[in-house]
Amino acid sequence: MPDQAHGLRALADIARRELEELPRSSETTLTPVLARKSTIDLNGLAASHLDQAVCGSSYALADISQVNQERVNSVSAPRVQHARVIAITSGKGGVGKTSISTNLALMMAKSGQRVVVLDADLGLANLHIMLGVNPKYHLQHVISGEKTLGEVLYPCSGGIMIVGGGSGMCDLADLDNARRDAFLADLSSLDEMADVILLDTGAGLSRNVISFLCAAEEVVVLSTPEPTSLMDAYATIKVVSREAPEVRLGLVVNMARTDEEARATKDRMIKITKQYLKIDLDFLGSIPFDVVVPQAVRAQKPFTTTYPNAQASRAVEQIASHMGYRSQAPSGGGISGFLNRMQNFGRRLNSAGHR
């Protein structure tokens, strides 16, 4: 059914297409110009024009907005202790998402938290490459019943465990009742094994990525100071804030060349999300451009363990500390609640596709 998630698939195209028509500086000029990330100053992206570039998203997901009420219902029951489910995303590819996910997990584990990282990038699952490991089994083996979750969990140096996702993540939203119940019984053990479950999502605004983000309890959006990255990050924040307003949204600025550049990127994003989306975006911190990061990637080793005193490593440690000590968001039922919301979201998309 190719048109089931038409609104989601069209959203990124709308944002990027209209980005090419953005004026450089004036908020009233209507003359279209070609946006080139190497020549456009961040300050040239006026807040009103940035919002206009993704304004089409409001109608794109209108048919599935009832998922909001389901999220409210899912978190209104009496609370028990569950793992925090945090999705790491970027909107745009090539901004260091998987590298930051890996190193953030390691820093959280260093602080004493039990961390499981789930590779939710369906197209380019490469979390294991960042860690220099090659797990034999992945989530699909659990879904099919071939392996238990305990057999698929892969312990890595630094105290974290990973679960390879691959195409198995795509099947989560479409499990029948029998497979879903069996999978949930196995998956629920993660709430006892972990304090934090990090989802390393794919880039962009595909149906699967949006499903993961709207089902998570917390979403960390990664952006660089480049205008194209800023635009895609804003589009992601806008969709998640409207379709799943209970999700706690945080921003991390990556690859900033100077403190001033990081601050300008943060200030711009906080301003436009406050002005146009009426949300208080949680700024988690910034990570400077650091030559040790690509060096570590090429060596297939985390930069926080290979270069613990590097600027990027210290920055990630500060972000992990900020996330660990900030006030907790209301529990959304841990990993079981995540799967329930993901399935509900998928059904809404399917229903919308049949209309």
Per-position pLDDT tens, the chain of length 355: 444 445 555 555 554 454 444 444 333 332 222 233 333 344 555 555 566 555 544 434 444 344 444 443 433 334 346 889 999 999 888 899 999 999 999 999 999 999 999 888 766 668 888 899 988 888 778 877 888 888 999 999 999 999 887 555 566 656 677 776 777 777 778 888 899 999 998 888 888 789 889 999 999 999 999 999 999 999 999 999 999 999 999 999 999 999 999 999 999 999 999 999 999 999 999 999 999 999 999 999 999 999 999 999 999 999 999 998 654 544 678 888 888 888 788 777 777 664 5
Give the DSSP letter string of 84-136.
EEEEEE-SSSSSSHHHHHHHHHHHHHHTT--EEEEEE-SS---HHHHHT---S
Short-list 216, 184, 249, CA closest to 332? 216
Say if CB 28 and CB 8 are below 8 A apart: no
Say if CB 317 and CB 100 are below 8 A apart: no
pTM of the model: 0.78
Q: How is residue 158 written in tokens?
A: 């630094």
- DSSP helix/strand/coil, 196: strand
Sequence-ordered list of residues with C-beta below 8 angstroms from that of 21, at least 6 positions apart, any chain: 32, 33
pLDDT in tens, 208-233: 789 889 999 999 999 999 999 999 99
The percent of residues in the chain predicted with pLDDT above 90, rounded, is 45
pLDDT of residue 338: 87
Identify the CATH assignment for 6-353 out of 1.10.645.10, 3.40.50.300, 3.50.50.60, 3.40.720.10: 3.40.50.300
3-state secondary structure 21-78: CCCCCCCCCCCCCCCCCCCCCHHHCCHHHHHHCCCCHHHHCHHHCCHHHHHHHHCCCC
What is the gyration radius of the CA atoms in the chain, in angstroms? 20
- DSSP helix/strand/coil, 272: helix
Q: How is residue 352 written in tokens?
A: 């919308």
* CA–CA distance, 44 with 53 (Å, rounded to integer): 14
pLDDT in tens, 17-38: 544 444 443 333 322 222 333 3
Say if CB 74 and CB 68 are below 8 A apart: no
pLDDT in tens, 231-253: 999 999 999 999 999 999 999 99
Q: Where are the domains of the chain?
A: 6-353
